[in-house]
């Protein structure tokens, strides 16, 4: 499993709105059914816990895709 696949798996396991969604690195998360502010908060908590990086809801929204979010995580490490 690649790093990106692990990241997407973690997102799906920690964000109820993504649990059954088909998510690829370039998927716009805002278009996923059920994506809302609670999903963004869950993403923030997962990223902080798993990667030790604190992202804001604005950063997650602006990045929009798992691939871009992961790039931000990597740049903050």
How far is it, in rounded angstroms, from Cα 76 to Cα 52?
9
Pick the closest to residue 10 from 41, 51, 38, 71 (CA basis).
Answer: 51
pLDDT at 17: 87
Q: Mean pLDDT, the chain, as a whole number?
A: 93
Helix (H, G, I), strand (E, B) or coil at 41: helix
- Would the pLDDT of 66 be above 90? yes
pLDDT digits (tens, 9 = 90+) for 32-63: 878 899 999 999 999 999 999 999 989 999 99
C-alpha pair distances (Å), 68 with each of 12, 44, 72: 16, 14, 6
């Amino acid at each position: 499993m690649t790093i990106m696949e692990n990241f997407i798996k973690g997102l799906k396991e920690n964000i109820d709105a993504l649990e059954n969604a088909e998510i690829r690195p370039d998927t716009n998360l805002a278009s996923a059914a059920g994506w809302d502010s609670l999903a963004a908060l869950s993403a923030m908590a997962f990223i902080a816990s798993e990667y030790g990086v604190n992202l804001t809801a604005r950063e997650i929204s602006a990045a929009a895709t798992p691939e871009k979010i992961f790039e931000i995580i990597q740049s903050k490490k």
